[in-house]
Amino acid sequence: MTNENQTSKTENQNAPDWVVKTPKGFGQKAKLERIGVAWNRANDGGICIRTVGTQIIENDVYLFPVQNFETEAKNM
């Protein structure tokens, strides 16, 4: 197995399970803004959320399942 294959396999194992978004704006102009990603925790059934930068979260937070990590990474 080459280093490239090992790296690719490791990246897939560490790929997030969820995309974390929060609403920004009000009314019809409101959009969901991506603020981070999350992983399922196998040992206790919890979810680990990692936000991008320092976030002040005033609204609800929504978790969306990651269908294709490469597609999500391009949209980040």
The pLDDT score that the predictor gives to residue 63 is 94
Work out the pLDDT band at 71, boundaries 50, 70, 90.
low
The pLDDT score that the predictor gives to residue 7 is 47
Could you tell me the two tokens for 6? Answer: 């090992």
The pLDDT score that the predictor gives to residue 57 is 87
From residue 75, how far is each of 17, 36, 41, 44 by CA, in Å? 15, 12, 25, 30
C-alpha 35/C-alpha 22 separation (Å) is 7
- The SS3 assignment for 55 reads coil
Q: How many CB atoms lie within 10 A of CB 70?
A: 8
Instruction: Tell me the pTM.
Output: 0.68
Work out the pLDDT band at 68, boundaries 50, 70, 90.
low
pLDDT tens readout for residues 3-30: 555 444 455 678 999 999 999 988 889 8
